[in-house]
Amino acid sequence: MKKIFTLISILSVVLLSSNTLKAQIAEPETVSLGEISPYFSAYLKPFGQAMATSMSGGWTHTAKVHSTLGFDITFSGSFVQVPSSDKSFKGSSLNMPNYDIDPEATFPNVSGKKVSDLPTMSRKFNNTEFNGFNIPVLNGGGVGFGGIFAIQAAIGLPKGTELIVRFMPDLSKSANNALGDDMSLEKTNMWGLGVKHDIKQWIPAISKVPFLQISGLFSYSRFQTGFAGDLMRMDPDKFDLEADPNIPASTWENQKFSVNMSSFTGNLLVGVNIPVFQPYIGVGFNSSKFEAGFKGNYPVIEMSVEHPDGFVIDSEKDPLTATSKTTNMNFQAGARLKLGFFVFHYTFTAQKYKMHTGGVAFTFR
């Protein structure tokens, strides 16, 4: 939440700069929030990738498939580590032609450590009479991991197939009772569907081996949330900017900060079904997507001699969006401790963004 407010302060600088610097520009030039989208995306990218990847965890804690009408209810938490190599980025990676940025400068991101000497980003203009302005650079956020908790249920179906579902109901109504009028939580929920199938039964040479389990698992999950309210509002009136009278006030009413994540996974699992301690390994892939940004319509400001304080001439839709897409092969190793109907489980997934998953379950057949 704190980082969202900090980002809002940066956006405010972009909007307010024209109001405080008194441009005397012969040819009109424009300033918009979309200009800093590459920086916004680079800053959030590792955290987004970690969060989306964490949604691929917790789908199973064994290679065994439930017998028909067997079931389990599982609670798990998955935590993904951001590697050191992804905790900063170079200025050369930012395609921002309207800004002076040292290509060799190292910028911390939301997962990096705080540094004492931050690089600069300076907005430049074609007219040399205007000195431009600096955009505040965010320091490292120290958020070196991402994770989720999930509650899911699985039931055995005929032909060695198991159906898995996870669901989190919308939490926005209860949360908004505590947030107040300045901030509101948008619809927030998660759902997912998985299918596991017994592959061992189709391999004649090993189908009769009682303790060996071989199965395949595919799963998909999706999460959404967002924030709206007066604290998120960025319209001409809030920054004392004159606007084209042909732009209706309702243009700015749909502003919000939105987050969407999804994950698709596939795994081949091999395990040993023995009393009490039941290890397994797996190989597979996960394909994840993270998208977060300021949605809605935001002011585009023109700087000119006629309007030295800035003049809102247009709006731009969804100006700042950070998107992270990744597909990784992985190897996982885990085990569960089965004490009657209760299970304690842990899995480690080796990939670029390493993942640890653990939890408890109630299981039958």
Residues 93-115 pLDDT 10s: 999 988 999 999 999 999 999 99
Q: What is the DSSP string of 265-316?
A: EEEEEEEE--SSEEEEEEEEEEEEEEEEEEESEEEEEEE-SS-TT-EEEEEE
Which two three-digit tokens encode residue 337?
A: 């401790």
pLDDT at 25: 46
pLDDT at 7: 52
Which residues make beta-bridge pairs with 243? 312
Q: What percent of the chain has pLDDT over 90?
A: 56
State the CB neighbour count (10 A cutoff) for residue 102: 13
Which two three-digit tokens encode residue 340?
A: 């009657």
Count H helices, E strands: the chain?
3, 20
Tally of structural domains, the chain: 1
pLDDT at 271: 95
Cα torsion at 172, 173, 175, 176 (round to 10°)?
100
Beta carbons of 185 and 171 less than 8 angstroms apart: yes
Phi, psi of 4 (to 5 degrees): -65, -45
User: Exposed e or buried b for every residue in 111-138, given b needs 16+ CB within 10 A?
Assistant: bbeeeeebeebebebeeeebeebebebb
pLDDT greater than 70 at residue 33: yes
Could you tell me the residue range of the domain that residue 326 belongs to?
A: 2-364
Selection from 260, 243, 261 nearest residue 252 by Cα: 243
Residues 202-224 pLDDT 10s: 998 888 888 899 999 999 999 99
Selection from 325, 331, 224, 312 nearest residue 270 by Cα: 331
Burial class (CB in 10 A: 0-12, 13-18, 19+), 273: middle
d(CA 258, CA 171): 15
Residues 175-189 pLDDT 10s: 776 666 677 888 888
Q: Which of 27-36, 216-225, 279-288, 323-332 has the lowest mean pLDDT?
A: 27-36
Q: What percent of the chain has pLDDT over 70?
A: 89
d(CA 293, CA 38): 12
